[in-house]
Homo-oligomer: A and B are copies of this chain.
Amino acid sequence: MAKAAAVEADTGKELCCTSVIEAPLSQAEAAKLAGVLSALADPVRLRLLSLVAARTEVCSCDLEAPLAKSQPTVSHHTTVLAEAGLIVGEKRGRWMWWRVEPDRLAAIRAALGG
């Protein structure tokens, strides 16, 4: 868990100074944005995210069935989304509870010209 908790999202708030359509991105900005978008660019993770958002807080064990994926696979995807800062997890007892980080999604939209 120490490792999982050490999952810091590098929450530098905004993902790039300006939006993609306003000015050419630097390599560093492009790499950072691409990293977060890669976390979103997977159908399983998109559905996982929408499942968590639908109920404000979801236990890992309640994700295996709707996603039709094994427990290690679900754990992998939650880790990826958490590293991207899109969800945050809290361990209560034996269960891991996840909730979305709306600010992060908003930052992505802003980077995309929102």
* Interface size in chain A (residues, C-beta < 8 A): 35
The reply to whether B102 and A53 contact each other, CB–CB distance below 8 Å, is no
**Could you say which residues of chain B place their CB within 8 Å of the CB of A34?**
40-43, 46
Interface presence of A108 (CB below 8 A): yes
**Could you say which residues of chain B place their CB within 8 Å of the CB of A25?**
46-47, 50
Q: Complex: how many Å from CA A11 to CA B42?
A: 20
* Chain A contact surface mostly: helix
Identical subunits present? 2
Given A34-B41, A43-B34, CB of A105 within 8 Å of CB of B100: no
Q: Complex: how many Å from CA A113 to CA B27?
A: 27
- Report which of B21, B24, B47 forms a contact with A24, defined as CB distance below 8 A: B47
Interface presence of A23 (CB below 8 A): yes
